[in-house]
C-alpha cells in the first residue's frame, strides 16, 4: 500500500526526515511503501534544489496547498515552532495523518488545540521524538517494565550543547520567544523529559525550575525561519532561555532533575540520563548511543558493578533485523528511519502511534509548569491532560 507524504520544512529536520522517508522502504518491510510526493518551502529555488537532492516528486511554496492535495496522505511538519499548530490543525481538517516535529507547540494551550483537532477529525498523529527509537532506550523501558530496577528513586537527565556560546551568534528564530516559544527548554529539555517519561512510564506531578538567559542581546543579522521572520540590522533582545534547571516529583514516587543548556562549552549534543532504583540502575549517554550501563544489585558481591551492554543483539534491539548483524552499530539518522517504520506500521494497522499528540501534550504540560515555576519562583503542579 502506498503512503504518500508531504513534507513542510527543508532545513535540518527536513533533511533528517527526507533521509528517513527515502530509506524506510529499503530497510523495513512494513507492508507500506512511502512515496515522497511533495516538499514545501517558501523559497522556490531552494526547495526545488532540496527536492532534487532528496527525491521529492514535486514542490509547493504554500503549505496550505500541500495539506489540501488529494494525492497526499501524511503531512510531515518540520517547520519552526510557530507554524506547528496552524499546519497541524488544517492538515487534520483535511483528513491527513500528521507527523509533527518537537516541541509539539509553543505552549500547553497551543498543544491542546492541536490535540482537539486530531481528535475531532480522527486522524493518525505522532510527534518526532526520534530518540525513543534508539535501541538502548527501548531496552531501558523493558528493563524498568520487567521490574529489574525495583522502585525508581532517582531520574537524573541532562542535555548539553554550546552552539550559541559566542555573543556574536545572531538572533535566529530559536532565540525568539514569539517563534520558538522557549529556548533550550522546549528544544532539548523536551527531549530528556520525553525520554525519561517513556522509559519510566511516569509523569512529573510537581516541578520547580529556573530559566537563565546569559546573553540578552544579539546581532539581528540574517533572520531566518519562522512566520514573521525578517532580516534586520543592529541588535535584538533574546526572549527565550539559554539554559534551564528543573526539579520534579514524579508520579511513581521518584524525584527527578533535568538540566538543559546551550552554554555547556565543549558539549555539542551531549545528552543522557541515569535512573536509580531499589534493585539497580541504568546509565545512558547519547555519544555512546549503542551502549547501556546496567547495574544489578542482586549480582554476587564480587561481581557487582555497572556492566556495559552493547545493544546490537536480536531480542534487545527492536530494529536489528532491518539493519546490520550484531555488533554493527547504528547512528543518529537511523532513529528517524526507525520512527518512520513504526509510523507506517501503526498507520496501516490503524493503531495508536507513540508518542501521539496526547502523550506529547502531557510533555508540553510539564514543560509549561516548569516555565510558570521559573516565572513565579515557586513549585507548580503539572496540569493533568486526558
Ligand atoms: C538543536 O538543539 C537540535 O537540532 C534539536 O532541535 C534536535 O531536536 C536535537 O535532536 C539536536 O539538536
Question: Last residue of some domain: 84, 100, 131?
Answer: 131
The answer to whether residues 75 and 148 belong to one domain is: no
Instruction: Sheet with 58-60: list strands edge to edge.
Output: 58-60, 33-40, 2-8, 74-77, 97-101, 125-128
Q: Is the CB of 269 under 6 A from ligand 1?
A: yes
In-domain check, residue 109? yes
- Nearest ligand 1 atom, CA 102: 8
On average, the pLDDT of the chain sits at 96
- What is the residue whose three cell numbers read 533550550? 184
- How close is the Cα of 13 to the center of ligand 1, in Å? 8
Tally of CB atoms within 10 A around 109: 11
In-domain check, residue 384? no
Residues with Cβ within 8 Å of residue 119, at least 6 apart in sequence: none
The answer to whether residues 211 and 292 belong to one domain is: yes
For the stretch 188-221, pLDDT in tens is 999 999 999 999 999 999 999 999 999 999 999 7
Task: Please give the Cα distance from 83 to 39 (Å, whole number).
Answer: 16
In-domain check, residue 359? no
- How close is the Cα of 78 to the center of ligand 1, in Å? 12
Length of the chain: 386
The answer to whether residues 142 and 119 belong to one domain is: no
The answer to whether residues 68 and 28 belong to one domain is: yes
Mean pLDDT of 166-185: 96
Task: Please give the Cα distance from 20 to 339 (Å, whole number).
Answer: 8
Say what the pLDDT of residue 233 is.
Answer: 76
320-326 long-range contacts (CB < 8 A, ≥24 apart) are 320/135, 322/27, 322/28, 323/27
The dihedral sign for the CA sequence 126, 78, 363, 116: negative
The answer to whether residues 124 and 148 belong to one domain is: no
The answer to whether residues 111 and 148 belong to one domain is: no
Say what the pLDDT of residue 84 is.
Answer: 98
The answer to whether residues 157 and 57 belong to one domain is: no
Q: Is the pLDDT of residue 157 over 70?
A: yes
Q: Is the pLDDT of residue 372 over 90?
A: yes
Q: Is the CB of 61 under 6 A from ligand 1?
A: no
Residues with Cβ within 8 Å of residue 334, at least 6 apart in sequence: 133, 319, 323
Q: Which domain holds residue 40?
A: 2-131
The answer to whether residues 155 and 259 belong to one domain is: yes
- How close is the Cα of 188 to the center of ligand 1, in Å? 6
Cell of 35: 512515496
Cell of 88: 497541524
Mean pLDDT of 322-350: 97
Q: What is the CATH number of the domain that holds 117?
A: 3.40.50.720
Q: Is the pLDDT of residue 232 over 70?
A: no
Strand residue runs (E) in the chain: 2-8, 33-40, 58-60, 74-77, 97-101, 125-128, 152-160, 204-212, 217-219, 235-237, 243-250, 255-261, 270-277, 280-285, 291-296, 307-310, 380-381
The answer to whether residues 35 and 159 belong to one domain is: no
The answer to whether residues 59 and 115 belong to one domain is: yes
Q: Choose one of 19, 165, 269 to mutate for the ligand 1 pocket test, by most ligand atoms within 8 angstroms of C-beta.
A: 269
Indicate the number of domains in the chain.
2
For the stretch 76-117, pLDDT in tens is 999 999 999 999 999 999 999 999 999 999 999 999 999 999
Does the bond joining 355 to the residue before it have cis omega, within 30 degrees of 0? yes
Question: Last residue of some domain: 102, 131, 160?
Answer: 131
In-domain check, residue 208? yes
Q: What is the CATH number of the domain that holds 202?
A: 3.30.360.10
Mean pLDDT of 231-242: 89
In-domain check, residue 73? yes
The answer to whether residues 237 and 183 belong to one domain is: yes
Q: Are the beta carbons of 369 and 207 closer than 8 angstroms?
A: yes
Question: Last residue of some domain: 131, 164, 196?
Answer: 131
Q: Is the pLDDT of residue 227 over 90?
A: no
Q: Is the CB of 188 under 6 A from ligand 1?
A: yes
Amino acid at each position: 500500500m502506498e503512503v504518500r507524504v508531504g513534507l513542510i520544512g527543508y532545513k535540518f529536520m527536513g533533511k533528517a526526515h527526507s533521509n528517513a522517508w527515502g530509506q524506510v522502504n529499503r530497510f523495513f518491510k512494513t507492508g507500506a511503501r512511502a512515496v515522497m510526493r511533495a516538499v514545501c518551502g517558501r523559497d522556490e529555488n531552494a526547495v526545488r534544489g532540496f527536492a532534487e537532492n532528496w527525491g521529492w516528486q514535486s514542490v509547493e511554496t504554500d503549505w496550505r496547498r500541500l495539506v489540501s492535495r488529494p494525492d497526499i496522505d501524511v503531512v510531515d511538519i518540520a517547520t519552526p515552532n510557530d507554524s506547528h499548530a496552524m499546519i497541524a490543525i488544517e492538515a487534520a481538517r483535511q483528513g491527513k495523518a500528521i507527523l509533527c516535529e518537537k516541541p509539539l507547540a509553543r505552549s500547553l494551550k497551543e498543544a491542546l488545540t492541536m490535540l482537539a483537532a486530531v481528535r475531532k477529525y480522527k486522524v493518525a498523529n505522532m510527534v518526532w521524538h526520534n530518540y525513543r527509537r534508539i535501541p538502548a532506550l527501548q531496552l531501558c523501558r523493558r528493563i524498568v517494565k520487567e521490574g529489574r530496577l525495583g522502585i525508581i528513586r532517582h531520574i537524573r537527565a541532562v542535555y548539553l550543547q554550546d552552539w550559541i556560546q559566542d555573543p556574536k551568534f545572531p538572533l535566529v528564530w530559536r532565540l525568539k520567544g514569539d517563534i520558538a516559544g522557549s529556548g533550550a527548554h522546549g528544544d532539548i529539555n523536551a527531549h530528556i523529559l520525553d525520554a525519561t517519561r517513556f522509559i519510566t512510564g511516569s509523569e512529573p506531578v510537581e516541578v520547580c525550575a529556573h530559566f537563565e538567559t546569559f546573553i540578552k542581546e544579539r546581532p539581528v543579522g540574517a533572520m531566518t525561519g519562522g512566520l514573521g521572520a525578517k532580516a534586520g540590522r543592529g541588535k535584538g533582545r533574546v526572549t527565550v532561555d539559554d539554559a534551564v534547571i528543573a526539579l520534579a516529583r514524579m508520579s511513581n514516587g521518584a524525584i527527578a532533575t533535568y538540566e538543559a543548556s546551550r552554554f555547556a562549552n565543549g558539549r555539542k549534543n551531549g545528552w543522557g540520563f541515569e535512573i536509580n532504583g531499589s534493585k539497580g540502575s541504568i546509565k545512558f549517554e547519547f555519544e555512546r548511543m549503542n551502549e547501556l550501563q546496567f547495574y544489578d544489585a542482586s549480582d554476587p558481591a564480587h561481581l557487582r558493578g555497572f556492566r556495559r551492554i552493547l545493544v546490537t543483539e536480536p531480542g534487545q534491539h527492536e530494529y536489528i533485523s532491518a539493519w546490520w548483524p550484531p555488533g554493527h552499530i547504528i547512528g543518529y539518522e537511523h532513529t528517524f528511519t526507525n520512527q518512520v517504520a513504526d509510523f507506517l506500521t501503526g498507520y496501516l494497522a490503524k493503531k495508536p502511534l507513540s508518542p501521539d499528540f496526547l502523550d506529547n501534550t502531557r510533555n508540553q504540560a510539564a514543560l509549561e509548569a516548569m516555565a510558570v515555576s521559573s516565572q513565579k519562583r515557586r513549585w507548580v503542579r503539572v496540569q493533568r491532560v486526558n
